[in-house]
Structure 1
């Protein structure tokens, strides 16, 4: 019995003692001190806001072109005798560019001049003929009167049995023949104006043909229509050209333009300046430009309207077809600030430093401008920023309003 009690109670005692020891250890263990959360402070660079008056600058990409770049073509079939034109060479107005063989043109001109002389001779002959018809009509009428009186006399004699019937018939035939002659002469006189009009038309046609032949002869010498530069030469001496074949391309280097796309967000502003007559200047490749006009059409898929810039100075540095980076200067804007690109998040968000924390502010972009150190910055205005505010210019990956920040000057040595 005793052995049974020991065997039954011993495990219970052991469990009780173990539980008591566990509770004693738990109650007497040292208490852990609470871990203090330390907020991270980001070191940033700041700039003091300084509102000013500044001219916005737009960076554009343009291409040099000209509205005056004719393609000179052959007007006749001929062989090329010589080509004084050279690509890239400057040509004065009237200077010979291409000479074609003039022999065929000269022969044709001589033929047309002969036809013209023939037409003039025909007119002179018609005038003389008309004068002769007028003079002859008087004689014809006199003869008609004589034959009429002869018929009357023969009729009287025949009734008196003095003249024979055959003589009377002969007198009547003479009268009829003379009558026909008079009517023919009168018809010729009446038809004079018609014949003269026909001959005058033939004369004008001959003159036109002669002038056209003379023009073709002149066209054997292809000359520069204005002062400019030779862009392309497409033939060589000895070639045979036909009407319409291209010969030389020439462009007016004093009428150069630069076409550049102006973004949509500046389109209305730029158009307003143009309507007000305000000059909009630009610089490109050492040349000075002025915005002359805006294109009347916008192609599908384009992000803006094309502006056409007139070259005021430095045209000799530009080449048709070359691409340029332009800097367009707009009229000054008041109460604007120069903001580094690194300070901008998205398109219009910046942060200022207030009591050691970041505070969000919104911007309205006006354009770009260059600071005194030659750096390009965003020109903007904001109703939430005033002079003296500390603008955070460091780009932080986790920028958010309320984030704790400090400057390098705030770090204790």
Structure 2
């Protein structure tokens, strides 16, 4: 099946109406269904009791908005404890001060040994050993401080894992739990969809998709809803595989639905390719020399 550009919006509407009126068995070249570009069922990695359910079905949310919170009191206490330990640098400061003091004493002792010999070599060696030990203490405490900082970050992430937030702009369409309920890790909780962008998924006869390429523009319609509801979409996926039973290939066409005119979930059809200006000029030149080609046949879903 090769799709041709429709001459006008009126022809596109007529084609959509024809598809709606065509008998179901007329052709099975295309079977299309519209879906949201993003449709996810959210879970959490923790087990606990829901302390706050912050949304209702139908609510619009933005990225980062709180959806629900599981009891996080113990996680909050652990985070504060780890943070306090990580921020306590008193022992490290004392160790650094001792290292500076020993280093100064060692330097003075070495100068005395060389200039006046009023101090023995054993005393200098003892100070040198003390400096090595003081330096080791500083190194150990710096390492412990890094470990405590990592533990504090881990405790913070553990606390944050008790909060479920929206990953993108969308609408809450289903809540699968309730406030006060005890949930388990990875349990489905909230379904969130973004209907501003739709995807028309179609199954296409393999011998008729030669002109379909990723990035190509298509005109699509939704005659079962309204013959005048049409969109220009972009082919986002053309399957490299053919279904062994039906001999059809799957394609996906993304289209803008910011106005919400398309009720996602309804069936749709491909009306025509959207040609570039250069292609339209070539088609126009041919049409002057020959009768206008009829619009591509629209297939009933």
Same fold (TM > 0.5): yes
Partner of 1:65: 35
Partner of 2:99: 130
Deviation at 1:204, TM superposition (A): 1.8
Question: For residues 305 and 183 of structure 1, what CA distance do their matches in structure 2 show?
Answer: 82
Partner of 1:384: none
Provide closer, same or farther for how the CA distance between residues 122 and 64 of structure 1 changes in structure 2, counting only shifts above 3 A.
farther
Partner of 2:57: 87
Question: For residues 303 and 93 of structure 1, what CA distance do their matches in structure 2 show?
Answer: 41
The alignment covers a number of residue pairs equal to 258
Question: For residues 210 and 140 of structure 1, what CA distance do their matches in structure 2 show?
Answer: 43
Deviation at 1:132, TM superposition (A): 2.0
Dislocated runs of 4+, deviation >4 Å: 53-59, 138-145, 191-194, 331-338
Deviation at 1:106, TM superposition (A): 1.4
Contact kept in structure 2, 1:293 and 1:308, CA below 8 Å: yes
Contact kept in structure 2, 1:282 and 1:291, CA below 8 Å: no
Write out per-residue CA displacement over residues 187-225 of structure 1, whole angstroms, 9 at most, x where no aligned residue: 232355544333222212211221222233334332222
Matches within 5 A, 1:107-126: 107-118=77-88, 120-126=89-95
Q: Which of these residues, 197, 221, 232, is aligned with residue 174 of structure 2?
A: 232
**Does structure 1 residue 282 correspond to structure 2 residue 226?**
no
Question: For residues 236 and 244 of structure 1, what CA distance do their matches in structure 2 show?
Answer: 16
Question: For residues 330 and 137 of structure 1, what CA distance do their matches in structure 2 show?
Answer: 85
Deviation at 1:126, TM superposition (A): 1.5
Deviates more, 1:207-216 or 1:193-202: 193-202
Partner of 1:325: 268
Question: For residues 94 and 101 of structure 2, what CA distance do their matches in structure 1 show?
Answer: 11
Question: For residues 144 and 238 of structure 1, what CA distance do their matches in structure 2 show?
Answer: 76
Provide closer, same or farther for how the CA distance between residues 68 and 183 of structure 1 changes in structure 2, counting only shifts above 3 A.
farther
Question: For residues 46 and 236 of structure 2, what CA distance do their matches in structure 1 show?
Answer: 40
Partner of 1:315: 260
Provide closer, same or farther for how the CA distance between residues 92 and 134 of structure 1 changes in structure 2, counting only shifts above 3 A.
closer
Contact kept in structure 2, 1:75 and 1:216, CA below 8 Å: no
**Does structure 1 residue 202 correspond to structure 2 residue 144?**
yes
Deviation at 1:80, TM superposition (A): 0.6
Question: For residues 269 and 130 of structure 2, what CA distance do their matches in structure 1 show?
Answer: 80
Provide closer, same or farther for how the CA distance between residues 263 and 335 of structure 1 changes in structure 2, counting only shifts above 3 A.
farther
Write out per-residue CA displacement over residues 251-288 of structure 1, whole angstroms, 9 at most, x where no aligned residue: 222232110112223200334xx67x5x3201113443
Contact kept in structure 2, 1:267 and 1:304, CA below 8 Å: no
SS in 2 for 1:105: helix
Deviation at 1:143, TM superposition (A): 9.1
Question: For residues 154 and 160 of structure 2, what CA distance do their matches in structure 1 show?
Answer: 10
What TM-score, normalized by structure 2, do the two folds share?
0.69
Deviation at 1:369, TM superposition (A): 5.9
Question: For residues 122 and 223 of structure 1, what CA distance do their matches in structure 2 show?
Answer: 39
Deviation at 1:306, TM superposition (A): 1.9
What TM-score, normalized by structure 1, do the two folds share?
0.52
**Does structure 1 residue 304 correspond to structure 2 residue 248?**
yes
Provide closer, same or farther for how the CA distance between residues 117 and 330 of structure 1 changes in structure 2, counting only shifts above 3 A.
closer
Provide closer, same or farther for how the CA distance between residues 191 and 245 of structure 1 changes in structure 2, counting only shifts above 3 A.
farther
Provide closer, same or farther for how the CA distance between residues 293 and 149 of structure 1 changes in structure 2, counting only shifts above 3 A.
closer
SS in 2 for 1:268: coil
Provide closer, same or farther for how the CA distance between residues 202 and 255 of structure 1 changes in structure 2, counting only shifts above 3 A.
farther
Contact kept in structure 2, 1:108 and 1:213, CA below 8 Å: yes
SS in 2 for 1:270: coil
Contact kept in structure 2, 1:115 and 1:206, CA below 8 Å: yes
SS in 2 for 1:236: coil
Contact kept in structure 1, 2:112 and 2:118, CA below 8 Å: no
Query: Alignment RMSD, CA only?
Result: 3.7
Question: For residues 113 and 264 of structure 1, what CA distance do their matches in structure 2 show?
Answer: 61
Question: For residues 176 and 292 of structure 2, what CA distance do their matches in structure 1 show?
Answer: 55
SS in 1 for 2:78: helix
Question: For residues 135 and 39 of structure 2, what CA distance do their matches in structure 1 show?
Answer: 51
Contact kept in structure 1, 2:271 and 2:296, CA below 8 Å: no
Contact kept in structure 2, 1:233 and 1:249, CA below 8 Å: yes
Provide closer, same or farther for how the CA distance between residues 65 and 182 of structure 1 changes in structure 2, counting only shifts above 3 A.
farther
Contact kept in structure 2, 1:280 and 1:291, CA below 8 Å: yes
